[in-house]
Structure 1
Amino acid sequence: MTDILANTISFNETIDKLNGLYYPFMNHLNTELFYTQPVLAFFSSTQAIVGDTYPESVIWDHDKTQRFINMLSCYRNDIENERQAFIYQESQNKRELEQYMHSLTNHYSRLLFIRIDLKYAKETRHHVSIEDFDCHMRKFRELISNKKTCFEYLQGNAWALEQGGDKYGLHCHLLLIYDGSKRQNDWHLAREVGEKWKMMTGGLGVYYNYHDTKTKQDYERNGRLGIGMIHRDNPKEIENAILSAAYLTKPEKVEQYLKVKVSGMRTFGHGTFRTAKRRGLPPISK
């Protein structure tokens, strides 16, 4: 919808998109889900024009398409307000995540930072609904909280859910932070986590492991290596680790926020830093 409002798509392309997308959209519309303003604007604008006509009978000609474009412009402010709200929330998330990272890196002498993207195979992702994604992520976060198997010695975590269009689909950017005195092999550990995701999704899931040698060498060559072992007494490592974590909360990734959500669905979160003061525990010396 934003490309139509911004006039970055031709009139004929709009006709083609309407004829290609309207019927499948109406066929999958679920009133129990929560949609973003561009999606709601599309629904409201099309319904104002075609009314109760069966979706499979609708043909978007020149006249209907022009009326649709005119109607869509009425929702420009709603769409922009939602966009600004997203940018503000991401800025808040970024600030909160940075504080969390500082607490962890100040407390432990060394931490193992693991970055991994959890997603779905291109061939099967069309079988995965937003309800499936929410269910998979809830279960996976439970596994993370239990701190068993590949999550043992985990001291912190953060995650962000996104929707990356046809190329990436629904996916999760995941950051796991382990006690560096207990865990060392970052590539192997990231692989274990990824395989856990594949197993839990019944083979639908795939993952991207950032910890192969070439990727890390590229980051290091550019002075931006912020994954792997991070030492408290190395300010550059700490700076890079926090910058790497901040990718989960980039306000400019506005086109990748979820277009549809289930009730109560969270799209960002992180662990809680345990302090001796809060829990009456002795300081943790590492």
Structure 2
Amino acid sequence: VKHLLYLKEISKDQINKILEKADSFLVTKNVIEDKNKIMRGLSLANLFYEPSTRTRGSFHIAAKRLGAEIFNFDDKMSSSEKGETILDTIFTLESMGINYFVIRHVETGIHTMISEKVSNNSHIISAGEGDVSHPSQGLLDLFTIKKSKGDFTRLKIVILGDIQHSRVARSLAEGLNTMSVGQLILVAPEYFKPNMEHFPCAEYTDNIVNGLEGADVVMTLRIQNERMTQSRSNFDIKDYFNNYGLTTERLEACNDSVIIMHPGPMNRGVEITDNVADGERSVIREQVSNGIAVRMALLSIMQDQTNK
């Protein structure tokens, strides 16, 4: 894995290798400190042109635990405000000796373009591309599911909410397709129905009761107002919650051992209630913790391959 741009480009064996490696990083602090030579002498740049808390912080902590130096780029305080292109910014940072670039950007295809232009020593990791891709989130979601549930082929997994605008849903579906998931159901109102060409292994329904029936995993998504058209941005939030909000009553249709996931940030009282978000079936906080281990594994494997 030289670059991580889209999860669909990663094979089943590669995904399993990353997940197995991540498991080895879910250990005590003392053991983690033994790993801090893996990226010693290397540098990682976080270049975020859209807001982030979890992903940016997670990559920062992951790289630091592996011994790397971290450069956190602020586009509002950089030469991009003066008209510098993202590619020129990266070329500048390459000249400073930075090897790893974690990039979030709204423009479709920009990570591929960058990966084709950078030096052979550089690694490009997409930390989110518009509504198209968020591969490291997809990996941590796969890891969280596997830790809780094991064999993907036996599972019914539901993604619920604003799927049309969700890069998280796209990447998770790509990963689940590669891992041969038993059943993937997309539940959303018609106005949030995605282009099903991007979800080849999934079924769609606007009926939340039928969709949740017997579910082993439910991933609920926030409403992404920032990606909506003007005509859709003023829809009725109360109506959405009444029809598609994840409540304890609606969970009764799922398997008793169902786990609840959310990529964050959550809008409580819109797509999920407090009781569900903070309940015993929720693994939302585990997702955040797992994200550090998964990103450590990804960086470690990339560097292992570079050393070879």
- Relative to the length of structure 1, the TM-score reads 0.25
Point out the structure with the larger helix share.
1
Q: Which has the higher contact order (CA 8 A, sep 6+)?
A: 1
Structure with the greater alpha carbon radius of gyration: 1
